Amino acid sequence: MTQARNFWSRRKAAVQAEAEAEAIATEEQAIAAQRAELDEKSDAEILAEFDLPDPEKLQAGDDVSGFMAKAVPDRLRRRALRRLWRLNPVLANVDGLVDYGEDYTDAACVIENIPTAYQVGKGMLAHIEALAAEAEEIEPEPLTEEPEPEAVDEPMTEPVIMAEVEDPEEVDLPPTPRRMKFEFEG
């Protein structure tokens, strides 16, 4: 008996979900058709149609909620929000404490085809190997025997006596920590 209830409640939920999906699809089609019509019109015509003020002439305290309607094109909504952000001193004047407020990309400093020793997947290894090969090729020249210069009488310096440190008898070291070992039978 409970299986029958589960079947019918699932069926009812599925029918309801289908009806909601159809309603959403028809609403999206209507919005898409309205946006296609609005794309053909100029901004002034759209503002007159929705009875909205010019976004560039908004003043502090003006209501911008009319621009947030789904039917209003994104370009007008963005213009109104930009104007709002410029008018509001809290939003317009960043205090400089924003961590990610600056552009840290190096797009302006990029040099096309910059020579580098880095190779993808290999790193700098090839460059280091090339330097090592060059160092091996350049061998130091053998020293030729040159006549020794005449000995100059220098005052004798006293040899430095180094004190020997006796090995300390056994130093008490703390025991090394033990590690637990687990064995699994499988």
Backbone angles phi, psi at 112, to 5 degrees: -65, 140
Residue 157 pLDDT more than 80?
no
Q: For 123, phi and psi rounded to 5 degrees?
A: 70, -140
The number of beta carbons lying within 10 Å of the beta carbon of residue 54 is 13
DSSP state of 124: T
pLDDT tens for 39-92 read: 888 888 889 988 999 999 988 888 888 899 888 888 899 999 999 888 888 777
pLDDT band at 156; cut points 50, 70, 90: low
pLDDT in tens, 98-130: 777 676 776 767 777 877 777 777 777 777 788
The three-class DSSP label of residue 131 is helix
Do the beta carbons of residue 80 and residue 58 sit within 8 Å? yes
Domain boundaries, the chain: 1-40, 42-94
The alpha-carbon radius of gyration of the chain (Å, integer) is: 41
Q: Is the pLDDT of residue 172 over 70?
A: yes
What lies within 8 Å, CB to CB, of 75 at 6+ separation is 43
pLDDT for residue 151:
57
Helix (H) or strand (E) holding 43: helix 43-50
Question: What's the CA gap between 59 and 88, in Å, rounded?
Answer: 10
Q: Is 118 helix (H, G, I), strand (E, B) or coil?
A: coil
- Flag whether pLDDT at 8 surpasses 80: yes
Q: Is the pLDDT of residue 17 over 90?
A: yes
Mean pLDDT of 21-31: 93
AA identity, residue 157: T
CB 80 within 8 A of CB 64: yes
pLDDT of the residue at 20: 96
pLDDT at 185: 84
